[in-house]
Chain A
Amino acid sequence: MSDATKGPVQLAARNLTRHFSVRTPGRLLNARRVVRAVDDVSLDLVAGEVVAVVGESGSGKSVLARMLARIVTPTSGDLVLQGTPIAIKSKRTLAYASQVQLVLQDPFASMNPVHRMSHNLLRPLRIHGASKADAPALAEAALRRVSLEPPSRFLESYPHELSGGQLQRVSIARALCIEPKVLLADEPISMLDVSVRLGVLNLLRGLCDDDRLAILYITHDIASARYIADSIIVMYAGQIVEQSRGTSLVDEPKHPYTQLLVASVPDPSDPTRDVPPTGEHAQIAVAEKGCRFNPRCPHVMDRCREEEPPAFVVGENHTSKCWLYADHEAAVEVALSTRRREGETATT
């Protein structure tokens, strides 16, 4: 994913993996199995860009966000913050937290209900070293950035006095007040009223464009990802199955799971579209061996049950982890390099 106009990589994740060991119900007392919640995920969060991670519940997207925030310790993998490798097994430092902030799904649960907003906002500021005299002005500035005017009114209110949309803006302001470089937003709009969701999405886009924040936007709503993101990642069962820059992943989905996801979104403008079989009734939804989607996949081949596919190039800055594109890759590469050459001749 090289792009000349790209800003600096603020946070890079390399081969992040998190396994959980769980007891298997109904088996012998000691029978445990491993849930591969996140498996070998690499991504770059770049200043001035929104990366969207889309997946259903249980796909590992929230565990990924928590690993990036260093609340969950990865089983293996590396994190690189602004070029500096991080010791992932050690405790999260204040310096890390000052650069990478997490905004959670439920704004009602993420604010202390017995304290005014001023407490909720001033505390992180004080912890991160703002002086007692400076802190209130910084908090007000953060509230202005998320369009809560007048800030003094909001500083005095309690969580129950604000609407969901306003509270989510305060949570974003709380994350922003210490001026981090990376904002991790885990389903920030799914608990909000439909009519205020766009406002929060536009706010995130604005923070990215105007303040050059690197934003990770985690969602199950692929339409909102298409609306806001510079690149989109689709996760299934802990793995990245498809990713693209721009909207090509939604416009021309390649992986059978992405195709299913895109077709399942209610779309009154295209009521007669084909929805592929969902395969939700498959006895095992996640295969232990081969491609993890194979029990549900309408295009499953013998190879898919045996070998795990690598990510194949399926278009410009667009990869798909599916054997269907194994032979296709060479053809796409040729087409792309031709196009690149043509582009070069055209510009020179």
Chain B
Amino acid sequence: MTTDSMGVDDVVATEVPPGALPTTTYGPIVATTHGDAAMGERILDVRNFSVDYGWGENAVRAVDDVDVHLDRSTVLGIAGESGSGKSTLVYAITRLLRAPGVIRGGEARFNLGTDDEGEHIIDLVNASERELRGVRWSSISIVLQSALSALNPVVRVGSQFEQVLKSHRKDMSKDQRRSRAAALLAMVGLDEDRLDRYPHELSGGQRQRIMIALALTLDPQLVIMDEPTTALDVVTQREIIGELFELRAQLGFAMIFITHDLSLLTELADEIVVMYAGALVERASARELYEAPRHPYSLGLLNSFPPMHGERTELTGIPGSPPDLAHLPTGCSFHPRCPYAMARCTNETPPLVEIKGSDRSVACWLHVGDAGVAVPVELSRVATGTKKFDPATEVAR
């Protein structure tokens, strides 16, 4: 479990329960199409995105000029420690962020799909509440870390499905709603009789499965998973991840998966972005990040997980502790903890730049051509491209 220093998790968790949904329906979404808009396979495109907590002089920058994007049916992993801004980023993109969180700039374009009239694209940052209600749950849904606080504790599981379907699928009859809920539970491996239970009667794993089923109720195109398995033990985690990927293979939704567990992410994501102190420090394919990290922080994170094989050797992890966002170090935020820090790192912030001849980026002066220093060997390894783990085919019940 992690505690978000800003308490965002708590705030949002109280906002999301199905019971809180409005029961009126909304008209079709008015798509806002930009001039340069064609998104094609891209489902989400976030640019220059910044989020503050608070206003004026006391504002703390929680997300700083972040670019992320993902394509249909792919998995984007966001890795980072508590306070790195990973949860804030997705809450802001989905506009679930509450005061004192404020979006300070940037755009987040979401591709709703293509029909005869062309592409329907919505700019989430500038969308009205009405437009957002049309997108939330039916196009973008979210699974939160703590299922116990995200499910309504005084309402039976079945009614929580019922309420979602009632407000978003007006044409469904009571029986249809019930059978849809039962089908959803079956998808996550639970019996229909769980619909008559209250959340506290279920185990942690069962509750998290119900959260996943709820998120999939309206066939979303994008599912955001905020540390969905952090509170569970590894065996349950393994099983839920397996089920999740089976479902993704069937339904084809894209996923943003947030976790501090980089080894888990390496197994399941297509692309990973690593966040530190509100900024992206590295972006690479999962395999490349694991086998050939470029940023010293990514390398440190990977070395923080004791291995399951081989000789036991003393690992050092990363010295120091994550910075206070209100008093960020000058230059590169990571420099006080970085074993490779140079004079330049203390006063100039490195930009996130693409590494020449690859489709990955890193924000570190070591990798800037004119740095005039040799890149250490552990930060210049070449990925061999081993077969990627596919949980959908691995899991057997």
> Does the CB pair B395–A195 fall under 8 Å?
no
Cβ of A287 within 8 Å of any chain B Cβ, yes or no, is: no
CA distance A130 to B312 in the complex (A): 40
Binds B, one of A79-87, A258-266, A314-322, A326-334: A258-266
Provide the bound-state CA to CA distance between A263 and B314, in Å: 23
- With A163-B322, A198-B317 already in contact, the answer to whether A57 and B308 are too (CB < 8 A) is no
From known contacts A108-B3, A191-B1, A223-B307, infer whether A266 and B233 are also in contact, taking CB-CB under 8 Å: no
The answer to whether residues A223 and B397 also contact, given A265-B234, A266-B263, A267-B263 and a CB cut-off of 8 A, is: no
Q: Does A250 contact B (CB under 8 A)?
A: yes
In the complex, whether A145 has a CB less than 8 A from a CB of chain B is no
CA distance A261 to B322 in the complex (A): 31
Q: Is A224 on the interface with B (CB-CB < 8 A)? A: yes
Q: Is there an interface contact between A267 and B308, defined as CB atoms closer than 8 Å?
A: yes
Contacts of A222 in B (CB 8 A): 234, 308
Q: A216-230 toward B: CB 8 Å interface, digit per residue (1/0)?
A: 000011111011000
The yes or no answer to A299 lying at the interface (CB within 8 A) is no
Contact for A277 among B300, B317, B396, CB less than 8 A: B396
Task: Contacts A265-B234, A267-B263 given; indicate if A165 touches B386 (C-beta within 8 A).
Answer: no
Residue among B205, B308, B312, B387 with the highest chain A CB neighbour number at 10 A: B308
The smallest beta-carbon distance between B9 and chain A, in angstroms, is: 14
**The one of B205, B308, B322 that contacts A280, using a Cβ cutoff of 8 Å:** B205
A180 at the binding interface (Cβ < 8 Å) = no
Which of B114-122, B235-243, B349-357, B364-372 forms part of the interface with chain A?
B235-243
Given contacts A197-B317, A266-B263, contact A220 B234 (CB under 8 A): yes
Q: Is A191 in contact with B3, judged by CB distance below 8 angstroms?
A: yes
Is the CB of B316 closer than 8 A to any CB of chain A? yes
CA A164 to CA B3, docked complex, whole Å? 10
User: Distance in Å from the Cβ of A205 to the closest Cβ of chain B?
Assistant: 8
Give Cα A266–Cα B290 distance, bound, in whole angstroms. Answer: 13
The reply on A137 being an interface residue by CB < 8 A is: no
> Quick one: which of A267-300 are within 8 Å of B by CB?
267-272, 274-278, 280-281
A193-B81, A266-B261 given; A198·B304 CB < 8 A:
yes
Identify which of residues 337-374 in chain B touch chain A, using a CB-to-CB cut-off of 8 Å. 337
Which listed residue, A56, A108, A163, A198, touches B316 by the CB 8 Å rule? Answer: A198
Chain A 232-264 per-residue mask, 1 if CB under 8 angstroms from chain B, else 0: 000000000000000100110000000011111
Question: Would you call B82 an interface residue if the criterion is a C-beta within 8 Å of the partner chain's C-beta atoms?
Answer: yes
User: Which residue of the partner chain, among A194, A276, A277, A280, contacts B304 with CB atoms under 8 Å?
Assistant: A194
Interface of B is mostly: loop
Q: Is the CB of A194 within 8 A of B81?
A: yes
Q: Is A199 an interface residue (CB 8 A)?
A: yes
CB of B130 within 8 Å of the partner chain: no
Residue B389 interfacial (CB < 8 Å): yes
- B295 CB-CB contact with A under 8 Å: no
Measured CB to CB, the nearest residue on chain B to A198 is B317
Complex Cα–Cα for A68 and B202 (A) = 30
Q: Give the docked Cα–Cα distance between A194 and B3 (Å).
A: 12
Kindly report which residue of chain A lies nearest to residue B261, judged by CB atoms. A266
A-side contacts of B306, CB under 8 Å: 198, 201, 223-224, 226-227
Question: B317, A195: Cβ atoms under 8 Å?
Answer: yes
Q: Taking CB as reference atom, which chain A residue is nearest B204? A: A57
A25 interface contact, C-beta 8 A: yes
Question: Does B29 interact with chain A (Cβ within 8 Å)?
Answer: no
Chain A residues with Cβ under 8 A from B189's Cβ? 281
Q: Which of A193, A270, A272, A275 contacts B260 (CB 8 A)?
A: A193
Contact among B238, B312, B337 for A227, CB-based, below 8 A: B312
Cα-based distance from A272 to B387 in the complex (angstroms): 8
Measured CA separation A191–B231 after assembly (Å): 11
Asked if B263 and A268 make an inter-chain contact with CB atoms under 8 angstroms apart, the answer reads: yes
Is A280 touching B236 in the complex (CB atoms < 8 A)? yes
Nearest chain B CB to A170's CB is how many angstroms away? 13
| B264 interfacial contact with A, CB 8 Å | yes
B233: which of A108, A164, A220, A277 is its contact (CB, 8 Å)? Answer: A220
A335 interface hit (Cβ, 8 Å) = no
Bound Cα distance A56, B231 (Å)? 11
Chain A interface residues (CB < 8 Å from chain B)? 25, 56-57, 108, 163-166, 190-191, 193-199, 201-202, 220-224, 226-227, 247, 250-251, 260-272, 274-278, 280-281
Other than A220-B233, A275-B396, A278-B397, give 14 A-B pairs with Cβ distance below 8 A: A25-B201, A193-B82, A194-B261, A198-B316, A227-B306, A227-B315, A247-B312, A250-B308, A265-B234, A266-B261, A267-B309, A268-B263, A277-B397, A278-B239
Give me 15 A-to-B residue pairs in the complex whose CB atoms sit less than 8 angstroms apart, sorted by A's number. A190-B1, A191-B1, A193-B321, A194-B305, A195-B321, A195-B322, A198-B317, A199-B319, A223-B306, A260-B235, A264-B237, A266-B267, A268-B266, A272-B389, A275-B242
Task: List the 7 closest A-B pairs by CB distance, nearest first.
Answer: A198-B317, A271-B389, A227-B306, A56-B233, A264-B238, A268-B266, A195-B318
